[in-house]
Amino acid sequence: MAGIGFELKRLFEKDGIAARIRAYSYASSVISGPMILGIFLLLAVLKLAEMDGAPLGEREMLLSLLTYGLLFSLITSSVLSVICTRYVADALYLKRKNLVLPSFYGSAGLALLVGGLLYGTFLLFSGIPFAYQVLSFLFYMTVLFVWIEMTYLSAVNDYKNVMVTFAAAIGILIAVGFVLTRFTKLDTTVALLGAAWAAYGVMGIRYYALLLEYFSPSKHSPFHFLRWIEHHPLLFFLGMLIPVGLYGHLFIMWFSPLQVTVMGWFRGAPTYDVSALVAILSTLITSISFVISVEVRFYPEYRRYFSLLNDGGTITDIAYQEKKMLRVLHDELEALLVKQVIATIFFITIGTVILDNMALGFTGDMLGIFRILCIGYALYAIGNSTMLILLYFEDHLGAFCGAVVLAVSTNVCTFISKGWESSYYGMGFLLGAGLFCLFVYWRLNWYTKNLIYHVIAQQPLQEIERHGVMVQFADRMERLRQTKKHD
């Protein structure tokens, strides 16, 4: 994340509105590009299917196939994303860029192998036509590859090419989808699944080329990053829990009175799913502002503070810098809260009017769910930003506990609320996100009151040797790789 901050700071130093717009656009494409594309893809595909005259059942089938691919690929990639982010950050800090690309190959290979086997098995027995199985599998694997790429692209400073690629993917989605549905005799679902695969495929190929331009290939072990699971086990579980808390309520609602059994094992709750996927757009303001405001303004103070600790600063200077750093952090989080409140109000008021007139099939119940979820996602966005600050201060336990609160509370509250009247659907996620937000805010206040104790006194006096399961697995994979190389 600090690598993003350095580049954005240079962009924001330029004067003029155009420079600001460019900086925000670049940040948006790097931070939230695949998410924006995923949501835009679902809305565009639904509109193209409707224009092609596809019946409601076929549109629901298409929505389910794409939603399953997006969600399951995101959950699969999240298992390793936090660990890989920490590994890349450490490698860049140590000026060992040659470690980055091998770890990308290792993480991508493991995710594609395990994810492909699991999702492929699910599709094989799902009861959908073979053509749908093949295209759904290709779509899932491609999106999964893009999610993993985005973990590494945050360290690439070529923002312009990242944004251009994102824009090209959107154009390809619309163009290919329109051509295949209007000028071929392909089944609507097959045509639009193919268009979605093509859009993400172009994005994946171009992003991989950017990684090759920035990170040099090396012969280092692609599985060395697995050792970081032993060093930071809570980060590994954090990566697993966050998507459970963020998307688990969708799976629960697939078994609510809103459920629709589309075909075979595929089921969904289109009324709830589409409302949630549009509502989550309201968090993009906070996601982007966090990187721009907190990273660009907070990180320099954070770096000065730890430089004083590491390089023998005086007690007076350290105490002064700590107060200054925390004051900047407080101001930026407060500004972040204000921006999210404004964005949420805008989405609830103006967004409701726009959705009601876009002919996307939004009913009164869907608009009600959309408003509730906008508030829920706003609370999540603020809580998630606060949790990331805990990670900055190495409070892995606090961040992990916050992820547990999020995963448990959102799913338990949603399970309870699915028996309520439909006008209250979404309240379960809202309540869970609220508890998560309150917990991490309390944890950050408690932690920073004794910050110097936590960052110094709680650290081990010497490096601890790790010889656990993941270290042994990494060593075994490296020996196997070396044996095959010699053969």
Question: According to the model, what pLDDT value does residue 483 have?
Answer: 65
Asked, for residue 378, whether it belongs to a domain, the answer is yes
In sign, the C-alpha dihedral spanning 21, 22, 27, 33 is positive
Q: Is the pLDDT of residue 276 over 60?
A: yes
Out of 201, 222, 243, a domain closes at: 222
CA distance 427 to 452: 39
211 and 253 assigned to the same domain: no
Share of the chain above pLDDT 70, in %: 83
Q: Is the pLDDT of residue 446 over 90?
A: yes
Question: According to the model, what pLDDT value does residue 463 have?
Answer: 60
Out of 222, 245, 261, a domain closes at: 222
284 and 346 assigned to the same domain: yes
Asked, for residue 471, whether it belongs to a domain, the answer is no
Question: According to the model, what pLDDT value does residue 115 have?
Answer: 94
203 and 273 assigned to the same domain: no
209 and 295 assigned to the same domain: no
279 and 155 assigned to the same domain: no
Question: According to the model, what pLDDT value does residue 6 have?
Answer: 47
Asked, for residue 463, whether it belongs to a domain, the answer is no
282 and 206 assigned to the same domain: no
Q: Is the pLDDT of residue 145 over 90?
A: yes
Mean pLDDT of 23-43: 64
Q: Spell out a b/e string for 100-132, using b for 16 or more CB atoms within 10 Å of the CB, else e.
A: bbbbbebbbebbbeebeeebeebbeebebeeeb
HEC per residue, 314-365:
CHHHHHHHHHHHHHHHHHHHHHHHHHHHHHHHHHHHHHHHHHHCCCCCCCHH
State pLDDT tens for residues 345-386: 988 888 777 766 655 566 677 788 888 999 999 999 899 889
Asked, for residue 459, whether it belongs to a domain, the answer is no
170 and 276 assigned to the same domain: no
Q: Is the pLDDT of residue 341 over 80?
A: yes
Question: According to the model, what pLDDT value does residue 170 have?
Answer: 80
Provide the domain count of the chain.
Answer: 2
Out of 200, 222, 244, a domain closes at: 222
201 and 250 assigned to the same domain: no
180 and 284 assigned to the same domain: no
Contacts of 132 (CB under 8 A, 6+ apart): 61, 65, 189, 190, 193
pLDDT category at 130 given cuts 50, 70, 90 is very high
25 and 99 assigned to the same domain: yes
Measured between alpha carbons, how far is residue 6 from residues 11, 307, 324 in Å? 9, 17, 20
Per the structure, the complete domain to which residue 69 belongs is given by 1-222
Q: Is the pLDDT of residue 431 over 90?
A: yes
State pLDDT tens for residues 185-244: 888 888 988 998 998 898 899 989 888 888 888 888 888 888 888 888 898 899 889 989
Tokens of 396: 């892995």
269 and 400 assigned to the same domain: yes
Asked, for residue 168, whether it belongs to a domain, the answer is yes
Q: Is the pLDDT of residue 23 over 70?
A: no
pLDDT category at 25 given cuts 50, 70, 90 is low
Question: According to the model, what pLDDT value does residue 36 have?
Answer: 67
**To the nearest whole number, what is the mean pLDDT of the chain?**
82
Asked, for residue 464, whether it belongs to a domain, the answer is no
Asked, for residue 465, whether it belongs to a domain, the answer is no
205 and 252 assigned to the same domain: no
Asked, for residue 466, whether it belongs to a domain, the answer is no
